[in-house]
Amino acid sequence: MTPLPRDLPVGNEKFLIAFDRDYLIRDIYYPYVGDENHCVGHKFRVGVWINGTFSWIDSPDWEKRLLYVDDTLVTDVTLENRKLGVQIHFSDAVDFVIDAFLRKIEVKRTAQSDAEVRLFFHHDFHLYGNDIGDTAYFDPQLNVIIHYKDQRYFLIDGGADGNGGMDMFACGQKEMAGKEGTWRDAEDGMLSGNTISQGSVDSVIGVVFRMKGGESRTGYYYMLAGTDYDSVDKLQNLVRSRGVDRFIERTSNYWKLWCSKQHRHFSGLPDSLRKLYRRSLLAIATNIDHMGGIIAANDTDLLRFNRDTYSYVWPRDGGLVAYALDNAGYGYPASRFFEFCMRSISHSGYFLQKYNPNGSFASSWHPWVLNGRPSLPIQEDETAIVLWALWNHFDRYRDVEFIKPLYRPLIKNAADFISSYVDLETNLPLDSYDLWEERRGVFTFTTSACCAGLTAAAKFCESFGEESIAKRYSGVAEAMKQAMIRHLYSPSDGRFIRGLVLGENGKLVKDSSVDASLSGVFYFGVLSPDDPMVAGTMDAVHRKLWVPGRIGGIARYEGDAYQRADSNSNIPGNPWFICTLWLADWYTASAKSKEDLSRALELIKWASGNSMPSGILAEQIDPMSGSPLSVSPLTWSHAAFIDAVDRYLAKARELGVIT
């Protein structure tokens, strides 16, 4: 089954709409980004009827251009069907303040004959993530369709030429007793007008344009979200009184202002990289919940494979995203993430695998018992990375009032855990799961992150005058660093190994695999990028993990089978954006000349060249076709791109390549 990546997310931290590559709405989150998906991947179809001929827009007859207006979260989508003789332009936005999804529709009759053009908008809600007990009905007082269940209400309206009121509608049942859905009712160009349905329901509205040949007309559509009838009623009065255009325009202006609030100097960078940098900031913004959680990805296409999603807060991903946001000058969303972490961390000082947007512990596959013994189901790098990123935040902004309430419950709590969760014989961290969540053991990446996290905690303690505690954290970090060199560096291979993996007998055994995460030894500042041990490691990463062929890019590790797109044994795995950009970071960090720096720039360009036309980055891509794989947008991919560009620009100024 071909994946349908989410090309065009639009949202406001409470209300998120995500389209697939066919320009169909597939995910609707409200009132938490990453929680309560009200369509869980089901299609919200759009159909067009012209003079007796009907077509759904996901048919091959439609040519599509799916873009954004530059520096905004407003779409710039053009659909054309030459057989029907029609071109339709859509501008979509979720208002940056109110919970309103707004759509301006510009219809052009490209044929010279007159026509009646009927647009049909279908709604396949699964409120609260299921299809039990929903209601869809026509409200005669407001002349709208409303879907509701419990405390979730969605009001839908549309019309031609800015006039209020849809031209036709139908409510019906779906996915039961052999019923496909009310969308079938639209295919003859008419709707039944059925006013209410309960249970597993859907609805369709129709908007009619009577057009002369070559004529253009404008219409609108909107979907309003609320927790009760009164809330959507008030929003509807607001939208009708002010008009859809005004809300789209103000949202466009807001995001342009947001993108330009930090005056970045992109001297010497191609315009494509500048655009993707700003698009990455905006893509991240769509995946941040108003409670501070940074969601990994809000693409439910993955449900087809494992019945779960990426719509969770991984402290690791969130910490790395917050780090990139801070360095880009967006400290406010980063600060809210750290407050989220303070509320979520365990009393014992560690983070579990992942969290829901409300801070509760999310689904997990890490067991609490291994080999008959209790086992802490953690990835210790997650706890450490939050500390490392938090020090970067404080060092940049020096906001003592912000840090004060986080100092004991988050910083010291986490550092005490990391400094105690140590093997007293080796001075390495005790075993936990790796960052890829696939194996348990003691890993170079985890150890590097723990060294960085403890170093950050020591700096906090020095700042707060607790010198003795600072020395204790620093001492553990230094001992851990030396243990990493002693136990995880292979002199015979001239590089670090992935780690020591927990075997079936409970013993740790050497895992010498080349893994892109070995970049952690320089990325977290544990060893200098010029250190021969680092250079040998990164050279092995490039040699062993570069994907051969025209696509290129760096795979996660040798023999990576996750979402494997090709069985060719010469291909180590699918190329990942974050892994390729880590290599770019090392070329940047170790560069001594413009020529050295050019190797980093080529990898940054690789990331840009493999983005979707809209500027969205997936998790990974097909090694043969370059098509996006797994989820999109992946917040971490966009953060890695921002970070790589910022590191490159800083080094280019240091070397005098740019001024």
Nearest to 124 by CA among 44, 58, 198, 197: 44
- pLDDT score, position 299: 79
Query: How much is the pLDDT for 161?
Result: 77
The pTM for the full model equals 0.96
Q: What is the pLDDT of residues 411-470, one digit of tens each?
A: 999 999 999 999 999 999 999 999 999 999 999 999 999 999 999 999 999 999 999 999
What are the φ and ψ backbone dihedral angles of 140, each rounded to 5 degrees? Answer: -70, -25
How is 134-185 classified by DSSP, letter by letter?
A: EEEEEETTTTEEEEEETTEEEEEEEEETT-SS-SEEEEEE-SBTTB--GGGG
Q: Are 643 and 308 in contact (CB under 8 A)?
A: no
Q: What pLDDT does 127 receive?
A: 97
Classify burial at 502, counting beta carbons within 10 Å of its beta carbon; exposed 0-12, middle 13-18, buried 19 or more. Answer: buried
Q: Mind giving me the DSSP string for 74-87?
A: -EEEEEEETTTTEE
401: CB partners within 8 A, 6+ apart: none
DSSP-assigned letters across all residues of 331-349: HHHHHHHHHHHHHHS-TTS
State the pLDDT at residue 265.
Answer: 81
CA distance to 11, 34, 78, 101, 300, per residue, from 28 (Å): 10, 9, 22, 10, 10
- The correct CATH number of 8-257 out of 3.40.1160.10, 2.60.40.10, 2.60.120.10, 2.70.98.10 is 2.70.98.10
Extract the residue ranges of the chain whose pLDDT is less than 70.
1-4, 162-164, 301-307
Q: Domain ranges for the chain, please list them.
A: 8-257, 535-659
Tokens encoding 549: 């062929």
* DSSP for residue 372: T
What is the structure's pLDDT at 1? 46
Structure tokens at 82: 């030459």
Show Cβ contacts of residue 39 under 8 Å, excluding neighbours closer than 6 positions. 25, 26, 27, 28, 124, 125, 126
Element of type H or E holding 224 = strand 216-226
Q: How far apart are CA 573 and CA 563, in angstroms?
A: 9
Q: How far is CA 213 from CA 79, 104, 189, 202, 217, in A?
A: 18, 21, 20, 34, 11
Tell me, what's the pLDDT at 302? 60
How much is the pLDDT for 486?
Answer: 97
> How much is the pLDDT for 410?
98
